[in-house]
Structure 1
Amino acid sequence: MLRINPKMLSRLEELEADLLARLRRAQEENWLGEAEGINLTLTFLRAKREETQRRARRPAVDLGIPRARSAKDHSRKDYP
């Protein structure tokens, strides 16, 4: 479960360009196993990039700071 920092999206673009160059070479040399592995890596890289872009568009949610319950909180009738 690797989460990419949105600031690193440009690095994913560089990695994709490198993989595409390696894929062309593998296809030219008829290295079928290598080409298959690169295609699989490209699929994962693109999915990770899309997930990172989606997360970057969502606003952050402030959950606040938790606080310890007091004895008074435990004595309330609506407390489970």
Structure 2
Amino acid sequence: MRKSFKLDEIDCANCALKLEDAIKKVDGVDDAKVNFMTQKLTLAAADDRFPAVLDDVCALIAKMEPDCEVLR
């Protein structure tokens, strides 16, 4: 499954790249793209694990960028 989510408060392109690299390392993530210009996260993971993977990704984002929020 591949879904896109709006991100709130990504500060810079470098932050977006750091998030993207870290998200790609989360167990269960098949692919991830963080677009600074559109403030969007596109996440790909197995259908049966997607909700759990998304929770892990949201927790990672909150840890790395406390001001950033994934709008579900």
Which of the pair is proportionally richer in strand?
2
TM value normalised by structure 1? 0.34
Larger radius of gyration: 1
Structure possessing the higher relative contact order (Cα contacts under 8 Å, 6 or more residues apart): 2
